[in-house]
Amino acid sequence: MNEIRGGICAPKGFKASGIHCGIRKNKSKKDLALIVSENVCRSASVYTTNLVKGAPILVTKENLENGMAQAIICNSGNANTCNANGIEIAKEMCLLVEKHTAISKNDIIVASTGVIGQTLNIAPIKQGMKELVRALGDNSSDANEAIMTTDTIAKEVAISFEIDGVECRIGGIAKGSGMIHPNMATMLVFLTTDVAISPELLKKALSEDVKSSFNMVSVDGDTSTNDMLSILANGKAENKEIIKDGADLKVFAEALNYVTVKLCKMIAKDGEGATKLVECEVLGAHDTETARIVAKSVITSSLLKAAMFGADANWGRVLCAIGYSTANVDVEKIDVDFKSKAGRICVCKNGAGVTFSEEIAKTILLCDEITIIINLNSGNETATAWGCDLTYDYVKINGDYRT
Amino acid sequence: MNEIRGGICAPKGFKASGIHCGIRKNKSKKDLALIVSENVCRSASVYTTNLVKGAPILVTKENLENGMAQAIICNSGNANTCNANGIEIAKEMCLLVEKHTAISKNDIIVASTGVIGQTLNIAPIKQGMKELVRALGDNSSDANEAIMTTDTIAKEVAISFEIDGVECRIGGIAKGSGMIHPNMATMLVFLTTDVAISPELLKKALSEDVKSSFNMVSVDGDTSTNDMLSILANGKAENKEIIKDGADLKVFAEALNYVTVKLCKMIAKDGEGATKLVECEVLGAHDTETARIVAKSVITSSLLKAAMFGADANWGRVLCAIGYSTANVDVEKIDVDFKSKAGRICVCKNGAGVTFSEEIAKTILLCDEITIIINLNSGNETATAWGCDLTYDYVKINGDYRT
């Protein structure tokens, strides 16, 4: 598995573009992205579990019913959600892509992100389409920039790997920041791959993957109305099509997980206002579900997140978050360690505090990537969740987002 | 129902005290409280649902098995939780009360609040007992001060009311601030009453009450390991003992709810770093449970809480929080209004945004007590939840709580 350049344009046969069309007032911020494949792709998506769903999600769901798609259009600046004419606008976006690219409007994935409840003006999109299509090329980072909202860093990754001797690629871009919470692809993630795979197995691989990747990320516990994860697979790598369980599918799943976990960490680390990535690794669980519940509960705790911001080794908050997680654990068996590149320290053994150097703990927690290791000492299952600290800037960013 | 002075000492036959004994370094902060009744009381408690339970809770549970108690001892500064010898220390606290008051150690409610995972030193408590007992009197506010942690205002209330022509009283003190979350008495609340009531009905009334009071409060979504709600009923009002369902029990339940809701609002408004009380009133629900789930989800949303801090009428976040609440609602029927003493404004009708004056909305949201009114338009059931805004100070207080 090698990391390569190119993001979503690294796999063969994909082009992308991102422009400022005018949905946002700030002209220096791109707000419209397009991703297209040379040919029709196998496609799968995972959607927000929020009962309030953005109109683009409803339209995408319909378009993906046959498991096929060829392009993705996405705007930032307005979520096109909770509007009277949201569906109409989302469909018009698909129609505009058809008009300018000859890709069928039914093969389009459409997405929007931004403020909820304000009508999305189609005019700037209509006006920008020509430029958007003309700009198509090896421009993964432009597309990435165009889907960003309060993100501060680009989230792009691509890898190459071999399936039965044939070189294949997966690329991805993501938009995260606020509203990122375990329980489905609560963010925008677009993946491209040139792997040849059946629609059924692509769907299965994606659904399996999110359980240990995007469902294990939380920034603030809120689940967005609009977020989704979509993958396009165009088969251009010309590997023997994966049509059944087995070694090839396993390789693909591993490659996919490499990309998604990488994006998860980027998303968590760039959580709104975050100054550090907080990883929670749960070991020794009786079953995977228990490990996941515990890991999620810890990284979601506001108290723990604030303590991480302050580099405060307040392990009591870790135990507290385990305690209310609803997981069935034996508290008196729990060990807790804090770890970072500065070292590792045990702070709790058998559910009770141990004497430790506050100074060393502080040094460890001052790093920008921290791992909380929880050993439940009750089995062999594990899980990892990713989150971030809770900071003044989170409050600042969200205290007045719209104005 | 009349509000009266005196807090927990307002009901006949109760005395209280609060002193600085030395658990805390800061000598100006009281850290040990005692509440006693002249006679043995009927008593009931509700405890944290956190799997990690403070040692005092385990001891109190045991002592209250017979439904009787006569005194409450509580320290702040250390939670006596996740320690090797917590139970031993909690029992020693009961024994100290017995020694100095002749109240049986089995009739004591013991509570601790503060940092988790550090051994509670019994020495200052031992040393302070004499002074604590000597100080017993009409000192509700001293006791209140002694149980406070990061609380900034005292939380004390008392009322008088009549049961079948006999004047009765209920008093209460509370400690809240951080870690306050729906799902049980997630705070310390001590109630006293001179009502004569059977242990069974007292227990039932308390359990019923928390569903619409303390279970509907959230500051930060974290459920503490130590918090509990206890009531002592000494019968000194000499009303005819309430031994069955009926008008008398109804009056008692209403009086109890007046006191508990009052304390809930105080707790929410004084949430860590909070600048305002955020009340969420859900109307038109098909059933009470739905109304409760929706109300809780809204006041718990970090995004919504940050918007309230910024006086930002971002009603999309209200819809979003309803959407992921797991409640079964028809999004397209939902109306949302914001209300405060400055006025009322409708911001969302039938699940979609309506045109409204941002200026008026801002004026409304700048007040320190805000109500979010959600009409689900699907039935006649209602619920109310209380929370607060998310502020810079929440982060500051919790970023470095221990040092």
Lowest mean pLDDT among A145-154, A306-315, B217-226, B272-281: B217-226
Give the pLDDT confidence score for residue A105 in this predicted structure.
Answer: 97
Give the pLDDT confidence score for residue A159 in this predicted structure.
Answer: 98
Give the pLDDT confidence score for residue B402 in this predicted structure.
Answer: 54
With vertex at residue B173, the alpha carbon angle to CA B172 and CA B174, rounded to the nearest 5 degrees, is 125
Question: Which chain B residues are closer than 8 Å to A186 by Cβ?
Answer: none
Residues A96 and A169 in one domain: yes
Query: Which has the higher per-residue pLDDT, A16 or B314?
Result: A16
Å between A149 CA and nearest CA of chain B: 15
Residues A265 and A339 in one domain: no
| Per-residue exposure over A353-373, b if at least 16 CB sit within 10 Å of its own CB, e if not | beebeeeebbebbebeebbbb
Question: Which chain B residues are closer than 8 Å to A83 by Cβ?
Answer: 352-353
Domain-ending residue, one of A249, A269, A289: A269
Å between B206 CA and nearest CA of chain A: 22
Cβ contact (<8 Å) for A319 and B395? no
Residues B155 and B194 in one domain: yes
Cβ contact (<8 Å) for B395 and A50? no
With vertex at residue A49, the alpha carbon angle to CA A44 and CA A50, rounded to the nearest 5 degrees, is 135
Cβ contact (<8 Å) for A303 and B220? yes
Q: How many Cβ contacts (< 8 angstroms) between chains A and B? A: 206
Å between A101 CA and nearest CA of chain B: 33
pTM value is 0.82
Q: pLDDT tens, B212-239? A: 998 898 876 666 677 889 999 999 999 9
Cβ contact (<8 Å) for A399 and B82? no
Residue A403 has pLDDT above 70, yes or no: no
Pick the catalytic residue from A81, A186, A290, A300: A186
**The domain that contains A394 carries what CATH number?**
3.10.20.340
pLDDT band at A184 (very low <50, low <70, confident <90, very high): very low
User: Which residue in chain B is spatially nearest to A324 when comparing CA positions?
Assistant: B50
Count of CB atoms within 10 A of residue B341's CB?
Answer: 10
Cβ contact (<8 Å) for B50 and A221? no
Q: What is the mean pLDDT of residues A343-358?
A: 94
Report in angstroms the alpha-carbon separations of A24 from A113, A120, B371: 12, 11, 32
Residues B368 and B245 in one domain: no
Residues A146 and A289 in one domain: no
User: Which residue in chain B is spatially nearest to A227 when comparing CA positions?
Assistant: B320
| A117 closest CB neighbour out of B303, B323, B352 | B352
Query: Per the structure, how many domains does chain B have?
Result: 2
Pick the catalytic residue from B186, B192, B225, B260: B186
Cβ contact (<8 Å) for B222 and A301? yes
Give the pLDDT confidence score for residue B186 in this predicted structure.
Answer: 46
Residues B179 and B228 in one domain: yes
Cα A148 from Cα A167, distance rounded (Å): 31
Q: What is the mean pLDDT of residues A125-143?
A: 98
Give the pLDDT confidence score for residue A396 in this predicted structure.
Answer: 79
Report the DSSP pairing between strands B343-349 and A2-3.
Answer: unpaired
Cβ contact (<8 Å) for B51 and A323? yes
| B117 closest CB neighbour out of A348, A390, A400 | A348
pLDDT > 90: percent of chain A: 75
Domain-ending residue, one of A216, A241, A269: A269
The answer to whether A113 is a known catalytic residue is: no
**The domain that contains B264 carries what CATH number?**
3.60.70.12
Question: Which chain A residues are closer than 8 Å to B310 by Cβ?
Answer: 398-401
Cα B378 from Cα A193, distance rounded (Å): 46
Q: Are B388 and B271 a contacting pair, CB within 8 Å?
A: yes
Å between B75 CA and nearest CA of chain A: 18
Q: What is the mean pLDDT of residues A132-161?
A: 95
Q: Which two tokens stand for residue A46?
A: 């995972």
Cβ contact (<8 Å) for B314 and A402? yes
Q: Which two tokens stand for residue A227?
A: 């977020």
Give the pLDDT confidence score for residue B48 in this predicted structure.
Answer: 79
Cβ contact (<8 Å) for B302 and A394? yes
Residues B242 and B382 in one domain: no
Å between B400 CA and nearest CA of chain A: 5
Residues B265 and B289 in one domain: no
Q: What is the mean pLDDT of residues A41-50?
A: 90
Report in angstroms the alpha-carbon separations of B54 from A302, A314, B186, B220: 20, 16, 12, 20
Domain-ending residue, one of B212, B234, B269: B269
Question: Which chain A residues are closer than 8 Å to B359 by Cβ?
Answer: none
Residues A200 and A308 in one domain: no
Give the pLDDT confidence score for residue B144 in this predicted structure.
Answer: 96
Question: Which chain B residues are closer than 8 Å to A300 by Cβ?
Answer: 221
pLDDT band at A183 (very low <50, low <70, confident <90, very high): very low
Cβ contact (<8 Å) for A398 and B307? yes
User: Which residue in chain A is spatially nearest to B314 when comparing CA positions?
Assistant: A402
Question: What average pLDDT does chain A have?
Answer: 92
Mutate which: B317, B325, B349, B362, vs A, most A CBs within 10 A: B317
Cβ contact (<8 Å) for A320 and B348? no
Q: Hey, CA dihedral for B205, B211, B217, B220, is it positive or negative?
A: positive
Residues B141 and B160 in one domain: yes
| B324 closest CB neighbour out of A50, A322, A400 | A50
| B319 closest CB neighbour out of A52, A223, A395 | A52
Burial class (CB in 10 A: 0-12, 13-18, 19+), A173: buried
Report CA dihedral (A361, A365, A369, A370) to the nearest 10 degrees.
60
Mutate which: A222, A275, A346, A397, vs B, most B CBs within 10 A: A222
Q: pLDDT tens, A80-131? A: 988 889 999 999 999 999 999 999 999 999 999 887 788 999 999 999 999 9
Residues A53 and A14 in one domain: yes
**pLDDT tens sequence for chain B (403 residues):** 899 999 999 999 999 999 999 999 999 999 999 999 999 999 999 987 788 888 999 999 999 999 999 999 999 988 898 888 999 999 999 999 999 999 999 999 999 998 778 899 999 999 999 999 999 999 999 999 999 887 888 999 999 999 999 999 999 999 986 544 433 334 899 999 999 999 999 999 999 999 999 889 887 666 667 788 999 999 999 999 999 999 999 999 999 999 999 999 999 998 878 899 999 999 999 999 999 999 999 998 888 998 899 999 989 889 989 988 889 999 999 999 999 999 999 999 999 889 999 999 999 999 999 999 999 999 999 999 999 998 888 777 777 655 4
Q: Which domain holds residue B180?
A: 2-269
Residue A301 has pLDDT above 80, yes or no: yes
Residues A254 and A150 in one domain: yes
